[in-house]
A and B are shown apart, each in its own frame.
Chain A
Amino acid sequence: MEESQSLAQFMVQQSGKLMSQTLTHISLTLLSMVFAIAIAVPLGIWIARSRKFSGPVLGFAGILQTIPSIALLGIMIPFLGIGPKPAILALFLYALLPVIRNTYTGITGVDPVIVDAAKGMGMSKWQILIKVELPLAFPVLMAGIRTATVINVGVATLAAYIAAGGLGEFIFGGIALNNSNMILAGAIPAALLAVILDFLLSRVQKLSLKRVRVAYLLLPFLFILFCSFYFLPSKIGGRMLAGFTPEFMGRQDGYLGLKEVYKLQMETVVVSDAVKYKAAYEGKLDVIDGYSTDGRLKAFDLITLEDDQHIFPPYYAAPVVRQDVLKKYPELEMVLNKLSGLLNDEEMTGLNYNVDKLKQSPEKVASDFLSEHHLLQSALPGGKGLIRIGSKVFGEQYILAQMYKLLIRGYSHLDVETKTGLGGTQICFDALKNDQIDLYPEYTGTGLLVILHPSPSVLNGIPKDKDAVFGYVKKEFSRQFNLTWLKPIGFNNSYALMMRRKQAADLNIKSITDLVHYIKEN
């Protein structure tokens, strides 16, 4: 079992990756800081001179900092694509406020008598700045740089979402794969990095600036610039580029399987689910992983490649319910089963499209669908008991949760509470196991690979067909966790590789094997 592997073993085994992620992480942080300092310090000096601009400038930098990191990264993709550029820009923007503010506070905090004396002795404005104001403001200024650096070490983990690398690849991969060694292998170095950088900067803070020449100050900057470019993921030109989520990268039924079974060898970067479709649509990525019923498939005009060697296990969705709840309210099973067999891949993709792209509410999409199939009934009086429905954070799960809610209200006297947005698989599953929710829609493949996590030998013994997998998870969930898988809903939301429709047509790529051949030939 993988669980028995220690953190140290994991880190040794992955030391090459760990090293390169750490170096990339440092580069992203330092490079963004160099740019931030180069802009923020002069800006801080300027607003200390022209105080009337201090309000607007600090206000604006403050607003930049309140933008959630992921949103900021997302905003930049259309302009800067994916990779280190937008990541550095985002980190740069976050670092502005602390540095501007502390430069401003430091300079305005210099005793005016001292500045007056300097002027009275015949120093020029520039000399006063370099010899008096900056050296005296330096400790405060450095405090701002320290704050910004520590913040940026943290935010830089998110760079992994947009193919900029860094320790976030382990952290988010580990979260997605429920692999705590992997999470720690990313989180511990990131924390250490923050502590070490903070310590080094606290040393710099104690330096006296009075004799330092401006030229000497520029040297470390240039050094960092030079080194950083070396360690950043380089831009790949001309060839096809694949962007895979951290989860996909680490899965046997994902990238590992692609390499093993299909012998796929192409340039890959790690991106987040939130940005990959758009990046593919804009031509920043050529191949991405995704779910075959994702509404964005339709929205961004992508097609799925046929998995002709069957490495992606079936992911048929079905409600997973606590057995004690089913026993207590026997009518629940019949109500939930009303949905089974009702939705195929294409229909589900269409519903997801309505939510993701057309921005219809999941409630509306759910009730429209049910009424189309003559399943929508006005709510019966409740009071018999409360059913808590969970869902993961994406449209399809919201829609299913809403459908179940409407069905339970319409066909039973039970009340319903939905707890949508429960992060990933592990969070949903833990909530269910710990009696915080009563049911949530899960996928057979996920149940098998993420939760049951059988050893490779057991896994190889399970045929990759729909019924075998369903039978296995149903049996194991019942035995291990007292949870019941009800009948599948019908669609198969399995992993798939996707490409732009036009590019796939131009290159005549229909299956993963076609893709592998195309790459080999070019």
Chain B
Amino acid sequence: MIKVENLSKKFDGKFAVEQINFEVAAGETLVLLGTSGCGKTTTLRMINRLIEPDFGEVYIDGKNVGRQQPELLRRHMGYVLQNHGLFPHYTVLENMSVVPKLLKWDKEKIRERSMELLDKLKLDSVLGKQYPSALSGGQQQRVGLARALMADPPILLMDEPFGALDNITRADIRREFTELDELVKKTIILVTHDIQEAFEMGDKICLMDQGKVMQYGTPEELLFKPQSTFVASFLKEHKLLLELKSLKMGEHTAWELLEQLEPGKLKEILLTSEG
């Protein structure tokens, strides 16, 4: 579905992204993981051509995005930003109508779709008439996602979508998002620096450092077959937690089984031991 080949970008003569390769199949979620400044955002923005690569290509369904008109390309890719990027002068509903209007949907269709998404994202329909500044951080982020989903784009690009939220809200909203039926069929590229988030949401993880891919594979591959000491040490702090969560024992993961024994206790122990 999405194929990235030798993608590179220089800023001021220095590589921000260097020779990146990965492939995301339809319906899969790829997480771009790495510390701040390692080139995740730059990579993501080259996919919807907010940044033009210096070398390399991006293909979507076999078609080179470099040959398509950027505006048309972007209307079929949802884009969710860290600070939601909602238009302060538009109400929630108006924010949500932006892409459908660009696609010349009729009013009725826009209204129906808006109501459907507000409902799915557990947003009260009275919020539709509010301006973004009147909403809580969690609500703003939901609206940001709703806006990206309005036209039901096959691809969703998300840049640290939970980054601006406090820890508790972040965990809640992340869980809601993963359970959302709208997201199940989507091909998603998600940028994060949060290891737990990456392992929870990613079908594939692309671990980056200083513009290069350190390892690209499934969460299990990264965890159990690290290709370098960098990968191993990057995951070390969370290793036990992640292993428990990814170890399958029949229907459930080891984590889930242990959690059932004494809810909450295990997390507490692990978190204190991890420091």
Q: Which residues of A contact B (CB under 8 A)?
A: 113-114, 116-124, 127, 132, 135-136, 208-210
Contact = CB atoms under 8 A, between A and B. Distances in A.
A136 B71 contact: no
Contacts of B99: 121-122
Contacts of B73: 122
Contacts of B75: 121-122
Contacts of A121: 74-75, 79, 98-99, 102, 147
Contact of B71 (A113, A114, A124, A209): A124
B192 interface: no
Nearest to B102: A122
B98 A119 contact: no
B85 A136 contact: no
A124 B90 CA distance: 18
A116 B99 CA distance: 14
Given A117-B86, A210-B90, A122 B72 contact: yes
Interface string B88-130: 1110001000110010000000000000000000000000000
B50 A118 contact: no
Contacts of B79: 117, 120-121
A116 B50 CA distance: 8
The 10 closest A-B pairs by CB, nearest first: A117-B85, A122-B75, A120-B79, A122-B74, A122-B71, A113-B85, A124-B71, A135-B89, A121-B99, A210-B89
A207 to B, nearest CB: 11
B102 A114 contact: no
B71 A117 contact: no
B81 interface: yes
Contact of B87 (A120, A124, A127, A132): A132
Main secondary structure of the interface of A (DSSP, over half): helix
A120 B88 CA distance: 16
A114 B94 contact: no
B89 A208 contact: yes
Given A119-B50, A120-B50, A123-B98, A114 B74 contact: no
A114 B88 contact: yes
A210 B87 CA distance: 11
For A116, A117, A119, A135, which residue has the most chain B Cβ atoms within 10 angstroms? A117
A144 B197 CA distance: 48
B153 to A, nearest CB: 10
A136 B88 contact: yes
A302 B94 CA distance: 70
A134 to B, nearest CB: 10
B83 A120 contact: no
B48 interface: yes
B85 A116 contact: yes
Contacts of B89: 135-136, 208-210
Nearest to A110: B88
Task: Indicate the member of A114, A122, A208 with the most B CB atoms within 10 Å.
Answer: A122
A120 B86 contact: no
Contacts of A117: 79, 81, 85-87
A117 B157 CA distance: 12
Contacts of B70: 122
B87 A118 contact: yes
B85 A114 contact: yes
Given A116-B85, A120-B50, A122-B71, 6 more contacts: A113-B83, A119-B74, A120-B81, A121-B75, A127-B102, A208-B89
A118 B50 CA distance: 11
Contacts of A118: 87, 98
A209 B83 CA distance: 24
A343 B224 CA distance: 114
Interface in B52-96: 70-75, 79, 81, 83, 85-90, 94
Interface string B198-216: 0000000000000000000
A7 B2 CA distance: 81
A114 B50 contact: no
A120 B94 contact: no
B87 A114 contact: yes
Nearest to A125: B71
A121 B102 CA distance: 9
A93 to B, nearest CB: 32
Contacts of A210: 89-90, 94
A40 to B, nearest CB: 23
A135 B75 CA distance: 22
Contacts of A135: 89
A276 to B, nearest CB: 53
Contacts of B86: 117
Nearest to B103: A122
B99 to A, nearest CB: 5
Nearest to B72: A122
Contacts of B157: 120
A212 to B, nearest CB: 12
21 contacts: A113-B85, A114-B85, A114-B88, A116-B81, A117-B79, A120-B48, A120-B81, A120-B157, A121-B75, A121-B98, A121-B102, A121-B147, A122-B71, A122-B73, A122-B99, A124-B71, A127-B102, A135-B89, A136-B89, A209-B89, A210-B90
Contact of A123 (B85, B88, B102): B102
B74 A120 contact: yes
A113 to B, nearest CB: 5
Contacts of A136: 88-89
B160 to A, nearest CB: 12
Which interface residue of A114, A135, A210 has the most chain B CB atoms within 10 A?
A114
Contacts of B90: 210
A120 B83 CA distance: 14
Interface string B121-148: 0000000000000000000000000010
